[in-house]
Amino acid sequence: MPKNRKFPKGTFRTDPYENYRFKLEWDGNEVAGFSNVGGLVRTQVAIAHPSGGDSNSPRYLADQSSYEAITLERGVTHDVDFEQWANKVWDYKKSTAGEKDEGAKNQNVSLKDFRKDMTLNLFNEAGQKVLAYKIYRCWPSEFTATPEMDGNGNAVAIQSLRLENEGWERDDAVK
pLDDT tens for 87-133 read 877 765 665 555 555 544 555 556 667 899 999 999 988 889 999 99
- The per-residue b/e assignment along 11-23, b for 16 or more CB within 10 angstroms, e otherwise, is eeeeeeeeeebbb
3-state secondary structure the chain: CCCCCCCCCCCCCCCCCCCCCEEEEECCEEECCEEEECCCCEEEEEEEEEECCEEEEEEEEEEEEEECCEEEEEECCCCCHHHHHHCCCCCHHHHCCCCCCCCCCCCCCCCCCCCEEEEEEEECCCCCEEEEEEEEEEEEEEEECCCCCCCCCCCCCEEEEEEECCCEEECCCCC
pLDDT band at 10 (very low <50, low <70, confident <90, very high): low
CB 83 within 8 A of CB 148: no
pLDDT for residue 29: 86
| CA–CA separation, 68 and 164 (whole Å) | 7
pLDDT for residue 96: 57
Please state the pTM of the whole predicted model. Answer: 0.74
Q: Give the residue-averaged pLDDT of 19-40.
A: 87
| CA–CA separation, 72 and 62 (whole Å) | 30
| CA–CA separation, 140 and 88 (whole Å) | 9
Q: Give the residue-averaged pLDDT of 15-43.
A: 87
| CA–CA separation, 117 and 162 (whole Å) | 15
User: Does 26 have pLDDT greater than 70?
Assistant: yes
Specify the amino acid at residue 137: R
User: Does 149 have pLDDT greater than 60?
Assistant: yes
pLDDT tens for 42-90 read 999 999 888 776 777 888 889 899 999 999 998 887 878 778 888 877 7
Q: Give the residue-averaged pLDDT of 37-44.
A: 94
pLDDT for residue 8: 54
User: Does 1 have pLDDT greater than 50?
Assistant: no
